[in-house]
């Protein structure tokens, strides 16, 4: 089982670092599409990702079309505040790709129009533009992991005994 998180032109290093931590926690692969708004050597990026960098399979691309070509035949979902369907209304297949846009602009409108049936949104109160990118990735990713039965994650539906008990 593999979940794929795609960030198209992320701008804020701390968000990407936090997303690295989320990917490490659930075993997701991370696909970074440039141009990135920061250097992968950025200290804020490294600090936010802590010591989880070696736990995540990270791939870099020059364009989103490169990702689509490499994984032709795989199912892609596009996160956008403009989508009709919520992220919880979708049954996610194994090895799917969840695509998130840059913090300031989201995904290109043309891409969303071409893939409207596979666009998903996180419901929010009226007047709120969006959630933080790393929070959005976590919300959607953990719904998918829930649908997968939290396979390969600690706890997997069992009670876990903690050291302090």
Residue labelled with tokens 């979902």: 77
Contact 157, 34 (CB under 8 A): no
CA 132 to CA 64: how far, in whole Å? 21
Q: List for the chain the helix, strand, coil content (%; round to 5).
A: 35, 20, 45
3-state secondary structure of 54: helix
Residue 152, judged by CB atoms within 10 A of its CB (0-12, 13-18, 19+), counts as exposed
Which residues are registered as beta bridge partners of 119?
78
Residue 63 among known ligand-binding residues: no
Q: Is 149 part of any known ligand binding site? A: no
Q: Which residues does the annotation place in the binding site for S-adenosyl-L-methionine? A: 101, 122, 130
Q: Which residues does the annotation place in the binding site? A: 101, 122, 130
């Amino acid at each position: 089982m593999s979940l794929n998180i795609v960030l198209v032109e992320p701008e804020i290093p701390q968000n990407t670092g936090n997303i690295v931590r989320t990917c490490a926690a659930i075993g997701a692969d991370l696909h970074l599409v440039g141009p990135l708004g920061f250097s992968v050597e950025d200290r804020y990026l490294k600090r936010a990702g802590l010591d989880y960098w070696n736990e995540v399979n990270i791939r870099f691309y020059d364009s989103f079309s490169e990702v689509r070509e490499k994984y032709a035949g795989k199912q892609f979902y596009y996160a956008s505040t403009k989508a009709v369907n919520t992220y919880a209304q979708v049954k996610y297949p194994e090895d799917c790709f969840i695509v998130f846009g840059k913090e300031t602009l989201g995904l290109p409108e043309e891409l969303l129009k071409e893939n409207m049936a596979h666009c998903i949104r996180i419901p929010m109160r009226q007047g709120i533009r969006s959630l933080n990118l790393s929070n959005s990735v976590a919300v959607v990713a953990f719904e998918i992991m829930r649908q997968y039965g939290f396979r390969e994650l600690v706890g997997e539906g069992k009670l876990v005994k903690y050291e302090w008990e």
